[in-house]
Amino acid sequence: MSYIVADKVAKEFGNGDGKVTAVRSIDLSIEQGEFISIMGESGAGKSTLLSMLGGLLGPTRGHINIGGIDIYSLKRDKLADFRREFMGFIFQSFQLVPYLNVLENVQLPLAVTHHSEAAKKSLALSALDRVGLKDKAHRLPNQISGGEQERVAIARAVVNEPPILFADEPTGNLDSRNSAEVMNLLKKLNSEGQTIVMVTHSRLNAEYADRIVEVADGGIKDMPVIRVVC
């Protein structure tokens, strides 16, 4: 059985005449250690699919199984625990907390764990080291560049070493040089065994993945990967 399984998941918003179907019925299986890109037009439902896969948005119909667990059968707090333990998130626009410095932002997912303060700091510094930002640990988010903020967001997503990384348009706000840096970083993490599910509208960035799927008309289809960059 695959590590992540979406079984006929559908998502509708609103009801009656105002009902909007964001995802009609999608079946998707992702293996452990796989790097998958989800593409699609704006409004095709790719971010909705990512939110459902990441335990952030319950489907109207269907099931999401991760590691054999139907995640939406879990109570709200248990699902929060599951996300903390098994998932890391890289959001659009970095989503760093403005009043916490870089080190504190990276430590956020550890704030509710039972690690000692020293261990939390050590894990956060190690994650920052992996993204090359250890020397900027005490700066506030507005004191570093956009590319650096994205790398801080990646460090925060991997600090507790979750098996799965969800990335929603991770290079959406970056120039091409910073985009390439971030994508190479994700590829490096994947090569170390990290499962990555990424939503992107950039074909170029999608090519970093092992597999590309396209969400269209509420359904999904596999697309060929033309590996030109590594």
For other proteins, the binding residues (CB under 8 A) are 51, 54, 56-57, 76-77, 80-85, 87-89, 91-93, 95, 97-100, 104, 107-112, 117, 120-121, 124, 140, 156
Min dist. Cβ of residue 159 to other proteins (A):
10
- Alpha carbon 83 to its chain centroid, in Å, reads 11
**CA proximity to 198, closest of 10, 7, 29, 34:** 34
d(CA 12, CA 105): 34
**CA proximity to 130, closest of 198, 192, 195, 54:** 192
Nearer to other proteins, 57 or 209 (CB): 57
Nearer to other proteins, 155 or 212 (CB): 155
Whether the Cβ atoms of residue 102 and residue 69 lie closer than 8 Å to each other? no
Min dist. Cβ of residue 202 to other proteins (A):
19
d(CA 118, CA 28): 40
Min dist. Cβ of residue 104 to other proteins (A):
6
Can you read off the two tokens belonging to residue 162? 């979750």
Nearer to other proteins, 89 or 208 (CB): 89
Min dist. Cβ of residue 226 to other proteins (A):
31
Nearer to other proteins, 126 or 207 (CB): 126
